[in-house]
Amino acid sequence: MVEEGEGRAGSYIDGFVIPVPDAKKDAYRSMAAGAWPLFKEFGALRLVEAWSDDVSDGKTTDFRRAVKATDDEQVVFSFIEWPDKETRDAGQKKMMEQDFDGEMPFDGERMMMSGFRPIVEL
């Protein structure tokens, strides 16, 4: 177990929840795979993109409602592991400076993204 703020050598996690149209699954996968070399170059250690499989409707809230997913969309749960917050901040800044061609395969206004400091790693 790690102490708060320590993580694996001070690791830092960016977490995402994204509604993606069923018809754009392959485009999303391609976009994510194409972005990985840049994230890696900028210091990321790991990228995980997970397509919804067992996402149930909650009584108060749930992943689908959180991003206002429609019937023809699935929820993607994604995270990027960084060695520390400083590397993440610099890497994210560099990513925002990149010019990307093409259309995003999801509605970015409904994407949830936040940074997290690990408090338990087993």
Total domains in the chain come to 1
Residue 19 covered by a domain:
yes
Residue 68 covered by a domain:
yes
What is the largest distance, in Å, between two alpha-carbon atoms of the chain? Answer: 43
Asked whether the beta carbons of 95 and 2 are under 8 A apart, the reply is no
Q: What is the mean pLDDT of residues 12-23?
A: 98
Residue 57 covered by a domain:
yes
Residue 99 covered by a domain:
yes
Residue 41 covered by a domain:
yes
Name the more confident of 121 and 28: 28
Count the alpha carbons within 13 Å of 78 in the hemisphere toward its beta carbon.
Answer: 21
> Average pLDDT, whole number, for the chain?
92
CATH of the domain at 81: 3.30.70.100
Q: Cβ of 40: how many Cβ atoms within 10 Å?
A: 14
Residue 88 covered by a domain:
yes
Q: List the domain range (segments joined by +) for residue 88.
A: 8-116
Q: Which of helix, strand or coil describes residue 43?
A: coil
Q: Quote the pLDDT of residue 8.
A: 55
**How would residue 36 be classed by pLDDT, with cut points 50, 70 and 90?**
very high
Q: pTM for this structure?
A: 0.87
Name the more confident of 98 and 28: 28
Residue 54 covered by a domain:
yes
Tell how strand 46-51 and strand 73-82 pair up.
Answer: antiparallel
* 69: pLDDT strictly greater than 90: yes
Q: Quote the pLDDT of residue 122.
A: 85
Q: Quote the pLDDT of residue 121.
A: 84
Q: Quote the pLDDT of residue 21.
A: 98
Residue 84 covered by a domain:
yes
Asked whether the beta carbons of 1 and 57 are under 8 A apart, the reply is no
